[in-house]
Structure 1
Amino acid sequence: MGEAPKLLYINGFPKYGHDETDHHLITNNYDHDIPWYEEVIDDDLKWSFALNSVLHKGISDYQEIALLDTKRFGKALVIDGKMPSAEMDEFIYHECLIHPPLLCHPNPKRVFIMGGGEGSATRESLKHNQVIEVVDFCKKYLITNREAFAHKKLDLVINDDKAELEKRKEKFDIIVGDLADPVEGGPCYQLYTKSFYENILKPKLNENDIFVTQAGPAGILTHREVFTSIYNTIKQVFKYVIVYTTHVPSFADTWGWVMASDQPLFIGSEEMDKRIKERINGELLYLTGDWFHSSTTMNKTLSQSLQNETHVYTEENARFIPGHGVAYRL
C-alpha cells in the first residue's frame, strides 16, 4: 500500500454574510401546502423539486448559497440558483470528477482542488492511499462530509482560486476544477478561460500532470452551451485531452468532464480496475474501468460538435449557461 497523495483543497465560495429571503428561490405554484425549489434550465424550461424544508441560506458579495432538504434527492446544495450537488446522487458526479485523473496518473502525490465547497471532492480524493496532504457553510451543514473536512491530510484554504493558485510556489500532480457553472454575473467564468489555463494553472503542474474540470451540461440539446467550448479551449493548452459524460439525475441532464495532460492519458479497463483495487480504500459506487472507457465514447452529434467547435473561452468572449450570479443582479 502506497502513501496517500497530498491534497490541497481550495474552497471556491466566499464566506457568506447574512441570511436574506430570495423570492426567486422558493415557489408554491404547484401545491400550497408543499414548498418547491425551481431551477431555470433554459429560458423555456424549468426543473422543480418538492421540499421538506429550507435548511439554510447565505449570501456573499459573489454568490448566493442555500441548503435544501428535497423530497426526491435529499439535502441539496444550491449556488446562484443552480444545484451542483444533491445527497442522493452526488457520488456520480464526484466519482467521475476525482477518480479518473488520480487513477490515470502513475503516482499522484499532491492534489489541488479548486471549488468543491461541500467537501465531496475531498472525500473522494482521500480514498486514494497515494495522496499525502490535501467553509464554514458546508462544514457546518453537510454532516456527511465532516470527516473529510477534519482529516489531517487536508490543507483547507478559503481564498479566491485564481489568486491562491497563482501565488503558490509548489507544483501539483493533479489539479481539479470542481467549480460552479459559468453563469453570467457569477465569479467562476474566469477559471474556464484560455489565459487562466495557460498562464496560471498549467505552470503549477508537474511533468506527469493531469488537469480535470467539470464542463457543464453535455446532453444532446445542451452540450453547445459551454461543454464543447471548454473542451476546445483546453485543447489549445494541453497536448492530450479526453472528454467523458454520464447522466446525473438531480441535474436533469447528461453532464460532462474534460481531462487533460501533456502525457498520454489512456490506460486500459483492466489496468484501471487493478488500480482501483490497489489504490482506493473502500468501495466505489459508480466507476469501473469498463464504464469509464464507455463514457469517453460520444454519440454522433456530440462528436461532430466537439470536432467542429471553434470558440475559445476568454474573459471578453465567454459563454454562459442559463442563470445569473449575484453580480449580474446588482
Structure 2
Amino acid sequence: MSYAKEQGEGGRTWLEEEIQEDLKWCMTVKKVLHSGNSDFQSMELIESGPFGKVLLLDGKVQSAEADEFVYHETLVHPAMLLHPNPKTVFVCGGGEGATVREVLRHKSVERVVMVDIDKVVCDFCNEHLEANKAAFADPRLELINDDARAQLEKWEGKFDVIIGDLADPVYGGPCYQLYTQDFYEAVVRPKLTPDGIFVTQSGPAGVLSCTEVFTPIHNTLAQVFPKVIAYAQHVPSYVDTWGWNMALQNASLSLPSSPAQIDELIASRIDSELQFLDGETLGAIMTLNKVVRKALRDEKHVYTVDQPRFIHGDGIKALV
C-alpha cells in the first residue's frame, strides 16, 4: 500500500493497494485520519472519495463505510438463519465491531463473546466508526483482547455459532494459523453445540483468485466437518468477488426452500430490515459460477501451519 500525489496545483492524492505483483488498484484520498502500527499489524483509516471511511490492516482494505454491510450481512446471517435457535455466539477477530453488530440483531441471541488480539484496533474502531458504537455497548457482548484460539480452547461450554472474521491470511500476519486444519479440528468443532455452525471469511473468490485461499480453506474444513457450504458475493471496495465457507456439525440442517419463506424467517428472527440480504439474494450468493465450482472440486490442498496459503502481501511481522 502506498500514496501517490498528482503533480500540479490541486493534484489529488491516491491510495494504491497492490493486489498482485503486477496489479494495483487505487482510490482518491480526501484525508488520512490515522496511520500507525499496533503490536500485530499496520493500521490506516482514511476518508476516501468513493467509499467514505476505509479501514486498512497490513495494507489491505478491511472495511469501507459505503459497502461494509454487504460483507458483514453476508458473513453473519446465513449461519445465524441456518441454525434453528442461535443463543450463544463466539466471534474470532471482528475488531471493528460490525460483525457483532449484525449478530446482535438476532432476537434469540443471549450472549456474544468476541475475541480480537488487537486492542489498539478495537479501541480505535469503537472511537471512530459510529455505526458500531451501539454494538460495543450492548450488555450481551463480552469483548476480550487476546488470542482467539487460546480463549476458545479454554472456554467452558459450547457455542451455537462460531464466526471467523479474521484478517486476511498474509505472510507474517497475525492470524493465518486460525485457518488451519488443526484449529478447526482441535478447537472449533469441539466447541460447537450439536447443531452448531462455523463460518469464516475465506478471501477472494473470483475466477482468477479463488484458488489462493478460498478453495484451500473449503477443502480444509471438509476434512473436519460433515458438510461445508461455500458461497460468494462481489464487494466493491475489495475489487473482487469475496468468499465465505460455512461448516455444519449437523449435515441435515437446511434453509427454507423458497425466497419468500426465507424472507419470513428473516422477519421472525430480526427486528429491523437487512440492507443487503433477503431470500432471493441468499439463494444467489450460494450459486457459484462454473470456474469456481470446478476449483472447489479439484482442490487438494489442506491448510496447515507448515503448509499455509497466503494472499498477496506481507504483515508487519514479515517486515522486521
What is the TM-score with the length of structure 2 in the denominator?
0.93
| CA distance in structure 1 between the partners assigned to 2:212 and 2:269 by the alignment | 36
| 1:191-234 per-position Cα deviation (integer Å, ceiling 9, x unaligned) | 00000000011111111100000000000111011100000000
Candidates 104, 111, 118, aligned match of 2:89: 111
Distance 1:250 1:117 in 2: 18
Which one-letter code corresponds to 1:64 in the other structure? S
Structure-to-structure mapping, 1:68-87, within 5 angstroms: 68-87=46-65
Structure 1 segment 53-132 matched on structure 2, within 5 A: 53-132=31-110
Structure 1 segment 1-330 matched on structure 2, within 5 A: 24-28=1-5, 33-134=11-112, 135-263=122-250, 264-267=252-255, 268-269=257-258, 270-330=260-320
Q: For structure 2, list consecutive stretches of 5 or more residues without a partner in the other structure.
A: 113-121
Q: CA deviation at 1:308?
A: 0.7
Letter in 1 for 2:266: I
Letter in 2 for 1:38: E
**Cα distance in 1, alignment partners of residues 151 and 43 from structure 2:** 22
Instruction: Say whether the 8 Å CA contact 1:240–1:265 is kept in structure 2.
Output: no
SS in 1 for 2:313: strand
Q: What is the rounded CA distance, in whole Å, between the counterparts of 1:30 and 1:148 in structure 2? A: 43
Identify the structure with bigger relative contact order (alpha carbons < 8 Å, sequence gap 6+): 1
Say whether the 8 Å CA contact 2:303–2:309 is kept in structure 1. Answer: yes
Root mean square deviation of aligned Cα: 1.3
Runs of at least 4 residues off by over 6 Å: none
Q: In the alignment, is the contact (CA less than 8 A) between 1:112 and 1:176 conserved in 2? A: yes
Q: Secondary structure at the match of 2:108?
A: coil
**Once the 2 structures are TM-superposed, how far is the Cα of residue 30 of structure 1 from its aligned partner?**
7.0
TM-score (norm: length of structure 1): 0.90
Distance 1:30 1:116 in 2: 38
SS in 1 for 2:312: strand
C-alpha separation between the residues in 2 aligned to 1:132 and 1:184? 37
Contact between 1:181 and 1:216, CA under 8 Å: does it hold in 2? yes
Secondary structure of 1:274's match? helix
Q: CA deviation at 1:57?
A: 2.1
Q: Which 5+ residue runs of structure 1 have no aligned equivalent?
A: 1-23
> One-letter code of the match for 1:53?
K
Moved more, 263-272 or 144-153: 263-272
Contact 2:231–2:244 (CA under 8 A) maintained in structure 1:
yes
Deviation at 1:272? 2.2
- Describe the shift of the 1:321–1:29 C-alpha distance in structure 2 as closer, same or farther (beyond 3 A): farther
Alpha-carbon distance in structure 2 between the residues aligned to 1:257 and 1:150: 28
